[in-house]
Structure 1
Amino acid sequence: MRRAAALLVSTVLLLAAAPAPVPRWDAPGAGNPLLPGYFADPSIVRDRGRWYVFATIDPWGDDRLGLWTSDNGRDWRFSMPDWPTKAAATSPTSGDSKVWAPSVVKAGNGRWYMYVSVGSEVWVGTAPSPAGPWRDANGGRPLIAKGFAPAYHMIDAEAFIDDDGQAYLYWGSGWNWTNGHCFAVKLKPDMVTFDGAPRDVTPPGYFEAPFMVKQGSRYLLTYSDGKTTEDTYKVRYAVGDTPFGPFREGANSPILSTDAKRGVVSPGHHAIFRSHGRSYILYHRQGLPFSPSGDQVLRQVAVDPLTIRDDGRIDRVAPGHSAAVAGFGPHRTVGLRWRAGGQGRDALHGPERAADDNYATAWAPASNAPLLVADMGRVRRVSGSAVRMAFAHRNYALSVDASQDAKTWRTVATLPAASGSPIELRHPVTARYLRLRVPSDAAVWEWTLR
């Protein structure tokens, strides 16, 4: 009896010591990525009960920004603000770079301000709410022109408002993935005019994407270094006694790095926000499966808890796939359950991926069979579809067919050129089977039936 008890105790101890299984990035129901699509450089704010995420559209930006809105932090809807655009925010020195890296804040005057990179210059806009309408706030000129410091990249501007209401702006990067520099300046109450000369406040290991937070009397400048197209991109932080530093690198820096075992590659260019009294880091990481080709990059937005200690120390982040944020809904709103049929491009992009409630995985059809079949198990009433395509800003020709027996089909909805996320198709019909037709080069994150 004693021997059996000893064996039981030792077995329990072994089980307790065993490492926890690593969560799979392609498992059904994952909360990360937070958004369905390829986006980077996120900025997040909350206004009147609604969440707003502004972000760069991948690959490498677009002529407009992406804006995602949600009332529950789980179900997000895509749009593109009327400002900034590449056409409206350009100067003789701006170059051909696209619209990147928005930072959105609410100022003491009650208005909202956006600092955004367009053509390697920083522009500023304003709006009465995050929903817009957004308009240029600096007379059609860049706030920070390329010529301010030609040896460095004038991008990634981020505003910070101190406890006393004083606003500051931080920005700067390097060329060719090296020699990043960070500049900072105090802003006047109009949020546009500089109050004094900009200063070089570059902390150790800095490349780009500054984001300032304050803990007690300490100023924590967080930022990225490395190369986003590889697995070296990461988030560091430095501590200073004033908004201008001088800054010394934090004890646990870097706080967010590649974790290949967890399926997290090249995390960075982040924002820090609070929800229900807790801190979180919103950031982009490489879309999976990670297979870079040259400088092509497809990134996705994720969120994880962040702990900032009273002494200004930031704990290292354990990046994951749950996206568990206090105040966000426990899960996305889902529709009718269905079993997938059809062909996928390969095993990783099979038809079941369009029904796994995971924005890291997508159905990509075989080139000769761009058809996805939903079997609902029995004949039932379906009012419509919500389709989340791979690229929310692109146009797609979509149609839905219905059948009782998967042999005889009739078309119940057609959209010749639709964009957005989700794309809504209305088709009140009673059927057991539905069939989604997409372009042969398209992919679908999720197909939700209502």
Structure 2
Amino acid sequence: MKKIFYVIFVTAFLNAAAQDKVSNGTKNNNPIVKGWYADPEAVIFDKMYWIYPTFSARYEKQVYLDAFSSKDLTNWVKHEKVLDTASVKWAKKALWAPSIIKHNDRYFLFFGANDIQSDYEIGGIGVASSAKPEGPFVDYLGKPLVDKFYNGAQPIDQFVFKDQHGQYYLIYGGWKHCNIAKLKPDFTGFIPFDDQTVFKEITPQHYVEGPFMFIRNNKYYFMWSEGGWTGPDYSVAYAIADSPMGPFKRIGKILEQNTKIAVGAGHHSVIKLPDSNKYFIVYHRRPITENHADSREICIEEMYFDENGYIKPVTITKEGVNEHIIK
């Protein structure tokens, strides 16, 4: 009798667990990792998915960056402290919004640090490098790459972008201003534009922070976050242009909250699967059960386009996406 009861109990437990994990035939994969994280940059290196987020905590506790890797887009391995302020002498707090790129068989991680409020403080955008995507990353320059407010843009939320001609750009900016600059091939500084300016402003309407860019069908899609990062109006909008320089005319929002699931959906990145035409948006949001500003989690949804190339509004879900192993 005890054996029969045990079997019934275990079967019921496993069925309940399965129900908790499956909804409408799809696994509940959002959030995709445990813990509070934000500002995720998703990339693909050698058929492996990687995500580099901000550790979501009080500024004084943001002294390191973790990374996550996955072979199938649903099961993630945590790589702790791929970058730490111990290896960046000028960085003391507020390590934010990493952006990573592989160049000449090395990995370059761009990051914001110290949340500077004026040109007279130490901090801004830095660069760290490593021979492996999981680090450890060490300070590449020994000083910030950008440490001043050019065109009114706070030096945070950096994104490194490679255009169709092989030119690398740094696109960045908080405080409702966005700049673009041409990086030197060794990432030690910048190449002036033809008019000898270094930082050009490309701020679209309603821009706040969190820039991201990708190319699709020879068009440049520029995306950014709007609203306040602690508020329910945090969201993602976009524009399309023929050049990374724009001009970028705002088309509209494509990602925002669903008060039945989460609020404050924003600060994202986009990946395209190399073996298909699928696109995914990786972003952070705040669960409706949480009120603290730093209680943010990383989620992923598939992103679709219409016949004219416009991005369709993204529906945020608890299900997320199914597994996909890159062939």
If the TM-score is normalised by the length of the shorter chain, which range does it land in? 0.7 to 0.9
- The residue type paired with residue 162 of structure 2 is I
CA offsets per residue over residues 344-364 of structure 1, 9 Å max, x none? Answer: xxxxxxxxxxxxxxxxxxxxx
Change in Cα spacing, 1:129 to 1:269, as seen in structure 2 (3 Å) is same
Contact 1:81 1:134 in 2 (8 A): no
2: CA distance between counterparts of 1:221 and 1:310? 19
Contact 1:204 1:238 in 2 (8 A): no
Q: Any idea what SS the aligned residue of 1:28 has?
A: helix
Q: Any idea what SS the aligned residue of 2:262 has?
A: coil
Q: Please state if 1:191 is matched with 2:191.
A: no
Report the alpha carbon displacement of residue 185 of structure 1 after superposing the two structures with TM: 0.7
For 1:241-390, list aligned pairs within 5 A. 241-250=242-251, 253-261=252-260, 263-275=261-273, 276-277=275-276, 278-292=278-292, 296-309=293-306, 311-325=308-322, 327=324
CA offsets per residue over residues 58-103 of structure 1, 9 Å max, x none? Answer: 12452100111223322222232353x2343353xx6x64211101
Contact 2:94 2:113 in 1 (8 A): yes
Report the alpha carbon displacement of residue 326 of structure 1 after superposing the two structures with TM: 5.4
Report the alpha carbon displacement of residue 229 of structure 1 after superposing the two structures with TM: 1.3
Report the alpha carbon displacement of residue 162 of structure 1 after superposing the two structures with TM: 1.4
Q: Please state if 1:114 is matched with 2:109.
A: yes
Q: Among the aligned pairs, what percent are the same residue?
A: 28
For 1:213-252, list aligned pairs within 5 A. 213-250=214-251
Q: Structure 1 residue aligned with 2:41, among 28, 40, 43? A: 43
Other-structure match for 1:159: 160
Q: Any idea what SS the aligned residue of 1:191 has?
A: coil
Change in Cα spacing, 1:68 to 1:82, as seen in structure 2 (3 Å) is closer
Contact 1:34 1:302 in 2 (8 A): yes
Other-structure match for 2:98: 102
1: CA distance between counterparts of 2:44 and 2:139? 22
1: CA distance between counterparts of 2:167 and 2:50? 23
- The residue type paired with residue 106 of structure 1 is K
Other-structure match for 1:181: 177
Q: Structure 1 residue aligned with 2:138, among 135, 138, 148? A: 135
Report the alpha carbon displacement of residue 309 of structure 1 after superposing the two structures with TM: 4.6
2: CA distance between counterparts of 1:60 and 1:149? 26
Other-structure match for 2:6: none
Q: Any idea what SS the aligned residue of 1:67 has?
A: strand
> Structure 2: 5+ residue runs without aligned partners?
1-18, 22-27, 116-123, 193-197
Q: Structure 2 residue aligned with 1:144, among 128, 143, 146? A: 146
Report the alpha carbon displacement of residue 317 of structure 1 after superposing the two structures with TM: 0.5
Report the alpha carbon displacement of residue 327 of structure 1 after superposing the two structures with TM: 1.0
2: CA distance between counterparts of 1:198 and 1:310? 35
Contact 1:215 1:310 in 2 (8 A): no
2: CA distance between counterparts of 1:241 and 1:47? 27
Change in Cα spacing, 1:247 to 1:195, as seen in structure 2 (3 Å) is same
Report the alpha carbon displacement of residue 168 of structure 1 after superposing the two structures with TM: 0.9
Contact 1:214 1:220 in 2 (8 A): yes
2: CA distance between counterparts of 1:97 and 1:131? 21
Other-structure match for 2:128: 125
Larger relative contact order (CA 8 Å, sep ≥ 6): 2
Change in Cα spacing, 1:326 to 1:195, as seen in structure 2 (3 Å) is farther
2: CA distance between counterparts of 1:194 and 1:162? 16
1: CA distance between counterparts of 2:93 and 2:253? 29
Report the alpha carbon displacement of residue 226 of structure 1 after superposing the two structures with TM: 0.7
> Structure 1: 5+ residue runs without aligned partners?
1-26, 175-179, 330-450
Report the alpha carbon displacement of residue 44 of structure 1 after superposing the two structures with TM: 1.7
Contact 1:211 1:271 in 2 (8 A): yes
Q: Give the TM-score normalised by structure 1.
A: 0.60
1: CA distance between counterparts of 2:156 and 2:93? 10
Contact 2:280 2:302 in 1 (8 A): yes
1: CA distance between counterparts of 2:48 and 2:219? 30
Report the alpha carbon displacement of residue 208 of structure 1 after superposing the two structures with TM: 0.2
Aligned residues: 285
Which consecutive aligned stretches of 4+ in structure 1 deviate over 3 angstroms post-superposition? 148-152, 308-312
1: CA distance between counterparts of 2:286 and 2:82? 28
1: CA distance between counterparts of 2:131 and 2:248? 35
Moved more, 283-292 or 210-219: 283-292
CA offsets per residue over residues 92-130 of structure 1, 9 Å max, x none? Answer: xx6x642111011123x2322111111131101122231
Change in Cα spacing, 1:105 to 1:60, as seen in structure 2 (3 Å) is farther
CA offsets per residue over residues 25-76 of structure 1, 9 Å max, x none? Answer: xx82121011111100111222234322111111245210011122332222
1: CA distance between counterparts of 2:324 and 2:287? 26
CA offsets per residue over residues 169-209 of structure 1, 9 Å max, x none? Answer: 100011xxxxx100001112213321111101101110000
Change in Cα spacing, 1:310 to 1:194, as seen in structure 2 (3 Å) is farther
2: CA distance between counterparts of 1:50 and 1:257? 28
Q: Give the TM-score normalised by structure 2.
A: 0.81
